[in-house]
Structure 1
Amino acid sequence: MVAALPTLPGVYRFFDADGQLLYVGKARDLKKRVSSYFQKTHDGTRIGHMVSKIARLETTVVRSEAEALLLESNLIKTQQPRYNILFRDHKSYPYLRVGLSTWVADAPGAGAMPGAPNPDHYPRVSYYRGAVDRRARYFGPYPNAWAVKQTIELLQKVFRLRTCEDTVFAHRTRPCLLHQIKRCSAPCVGAISPADYAADVRAACDFLEGRSQEVLQALQARMEALAGQLAFEQAAEVRDQIGALSRVLQQQAMESHDDQDVDIIAVAVRGGRACVNLAMVRGGRHLGDRATFPAHVEDGAALADVDGAASAEQRVLEAFLAQHYTDVPPPPLLVLGAPVDEALLEALTEQSGVRVRAVFHPREQRRAWLEMAQTNAELQLARLLAEEGSQQARTRALAEALGLEAASPEALAALRIEAFDISHTAGEATMASCVVYEQHQMQPRQYRRYAVEGITPGDDPAAMRQVLQRRYGRLAGQLAEQGGDEVGGARLPDVVLIDGGAAQVAAARAVFESLGLDIGRLVGVEKGQGRKVGLEELVFADGRPKVALPPDSAALLLVAQIRDEAHRFALTGMRARRARVRTGASRLEDIPGVGPKKRARLLARFGGVRGVAAASVEELASVEGISRALAEAIHRALRG
């Protein structure tokens, strides 16, 4: 198998006997690289453990090592192999969006103040997350939402650009509060001409691109010109802009005129975990940083470096660069805490079309940036390790309190707890939640909500019976046919937590007995005397005596954490369901293609169904996930 491999660049994939993908790697020479896994003795090592599972090999030949790097990164992100370093932060990065104006300077009547201001002539600055397009200018990405909002506030103070939706703009008859506090030039009521507003937009964009001194000089010239025309009030407004911008620049301690766009990346590795801290400088301004924590650090670093020539920090850094910059365009300069393969930089350059340089031993300002990023990486990693240690102690304490045999670290990590809660308002909009705890942490991707129908309003035991039947009915039948506790990747939890006392536990017991499931898995969380927090008792469906855990018990802290999360998830679902009924949001539900996420984005953007109905097709299409065709369908449905 290995002997027949070509001596060409490409990507290789290892599979186990069940067809599960174990590892994805790239190579300049496929035959040489793959054979290195099998020619040496790796007994007792992570590499040996993985090699012993290999049952099948697949390869893909590409034209260059750069292509191999990009293909490897895409496969890792989409397939998530067991032994690769994985960065599972799926949150997209936010941008600052500046709309494009349709106003034309030499159009007839362009210099005159419009009778009814057109929002298309006054671009709006806004927070944006999603795919970028050509209908606006985008600045970023930013490390977090706070950085975008801070920048928007800065633009409001200095350039007084509007942030209101077009629907709000079109219906204003007098300036809003932002104009009164000098944060907006009130284009909605014609207080500024399109030409002057366009000048402010150009200055704001220049500032965001790092041309601060040019902006100051342009404002100075504009002020002097207005003074020469005896327009002293307008000159005073420009003077105030200059003062505000000067104060902003003085407050920017991280400002740099030499490095306009830079990413500073530091790595800390300890205790089998790693932290990558990314600090962003855009337009010469430090926007903040963002920490990410990859999975499979020890396995991935060992397997990627089968020859043992590179450090774990280097392998983690290379994995981050390859996976991160396939979604986010890289800046021209990277300041790194460890050297990386030159082929990786060439691949990033080839993909982005921008020459990407890296600095490993920076000086002066860049050195200060890197030291700060390294300190943040180490602090974040220390916090993570402390939290994980505490969480593992809680899991062990709860396992002991429940009498489970889960002494080994592997068994504790595999301990699966599913918790249920019922939420309603006097029987209205009853919603049940199921949350999952596994691998010493909550697993939000596995959460589920169940809308409860066909019961007497307010009958919590009946609601519990319904949701447990829906959750485990099909799985119980499949397990009965095939045997065991797992089928098709789904398995019964080790513990089922019921938020409630004897009545709810009895209802759960009846369901489990009818399905032929072990009632020993059922545990109720009953409020103690006076229904005070910290006095909860554990109620067992199999007849064991109640257990009252001490208020400072690590087991009780974990029970409270899981129960509170189940309550939160059920409550938010119930409120959303109740609001749909009361506000008519169900009109959106009836439109094909508008699911819960898109509906939530629409309601949040326009403030309710009425706002969505009043929005134009263009405004609807500007919402993340709403295509032009879907926007037209929504527009027809709500106005038909």
Structure 2
Amino acid sequence: MPIRSDVAPGPEEGKEGDSHSFDVKHFLKRLTERPGVYRMYDAAGGILYVGKARNLKKRVSSYFRKSGLAPKTEALVSRIESIEVTITGSETEALLLEQNLIKSLRPPYNILLRDDKSYPYIYRSAHDDYPSLTFRRGRSKKGGGTWYGPFPSSGAVKESLNILQKIFRIRSCSESYFRNRTRPCLQYQINRCTAPCVGLISPEDYLADVRRATMFLEGKNPAILQDLLSAMEEASKSLEFEKAAAYRDQLNYLRHVQEQQSVDGEGGDADVVAIAQDAGVVCIVVIIVRGGRVLGTKDYFPRYSIEQSEGELLSAFLGQYYFGGSTRREIPPDILVPVDVDGQELLSQALSETAGRDTRIRRNVRGERRRWVELAMTNARQTLLTHLASKETVYRRLLALKDLLELPETPSRMECFDISHSQGENTVASCVVFDENGPLKSDYRLYNIEGVTAGDDYAAMQQVLTRRYKRMVSGEGKRPDLVFIDGGKGQLGIAKAVFDELGISDIPLIGVAKGVTRRAGMEQLIDAMTDAVFRVPADSPALHLIQHIRDESHRFAITGHRARRDKKRRSSTLEGIDGVGPKRRRDLIRYFGGIQDLKKASVEEMTKVQGISRNLAETIYAVLHDE
């Protein structure tokens, strides 16, 4: 997901001493903490460096610390003018995407990972009766055989091969050593091999063991993991803690080996197109896949009418993307999308005629291609959030808001309130704050509402506003320039009554109602001072800012309510998820070793747990990451 940081400086940017034309501090503040790949560019748009990270925010931030950088890193940082990032499902996927990008882009500051020699593989030889499983660095086309990987850690591969030898007793010797044996070797004596070299096992039985071992490498045999889990628990019960720890380490290694590589595999050529829209802005991300490898991403922010559906937007975009402009883009055999595209058959026919072969626009895909679509959707959502929070976007919208509400000055602090509860239970009120940089999360506040009738939103709104602005009047709180209330005339009337009681008459108070149709872009704004109700054009930057503030207050209120509800019920993070009962919770915790490791797992890894379907894994992942 490209997140471009080359944003035009705002009024307070470009201060003396800043060696970059973009605001590094602001960019890092909005950067995600998820795993992914980052790409650094110079002023001319040339690639400087490609890297991967388990936590993008921490890793990219480390380049801009004030001291402790190596001379080479300082030279790199002095040339950085923009940064793009791509979110991945796991650190392993980030590693493989990093490899692909270094090969294709060849950045000057990358001196490692020029080829596959840095990555470990497991190799199954091509022997007809007695193939071996061995550790290899680098992939070769010579000798036939089957390759598994690449994998993120050579240590994990070596240890996993040892474990597979213990379980399945597959040979690991070279072909010449195998051909010249006349008696069993030491591996047979220590029960690590069945001695096929001297015929102590039949080809049929040996190949059955090899088939089971390779099924495990392909992630098709979770029963082995269950056996190790049981052995670990038995060792713990017997107070054999060292043995239990060894089983735990084996499980960790085996999970590394089983991890699916969704950015490197069999899949052919495809363009993956995803869409996200919010607060009057639409973002479209294109992921380019060639030969089963993700080669890069590109994001677009087209102008559109609020009345257009996502299918209509994608239809218009695909037509311009492949047929518009002076340079014709390569049309792959498959174009993968998350929603039905309007005029899909006609568009596919036109693409096929232009490409000279069949081209399909496909929505319902499975396996690796489904993971590509999910990856594109994740990147589209994150790119949109970053765009909405950029200084350039917020500043332009602030000017439009000033004109819309006829304010004497551009507001530098705006607050918005919302109420959240479940049938009146554990009511929480949120106060979110925006300034000239966008969301000011350090000033966000949650208020636990007590002593009101369950479900009485008016009383809840009265309580939170009184608590917030009573402190302000006494000189303890910051003073906003503008206040929004998420609700119609009823909630706004309560807010005005509180302001009147506290003697506040110089802060504009605006209600944001969803309108009759309750559709985005059809909101009604209500001025508390004049009772005037008016609508704003759907493409107005001012309305987009108001929508952003309103949606953020709603999100923050729901998050706070859920946290309070779960704490009161004394439930674990997993207990509130439909479909995750005591047994599945126990199996998840056993498999990953704890809730923190579960949070680090990808959707694909969660499906390895018995009883966890892909849909349920997606739900668990979304809850754990507050999506």
TM-score (norm 2): 0.39
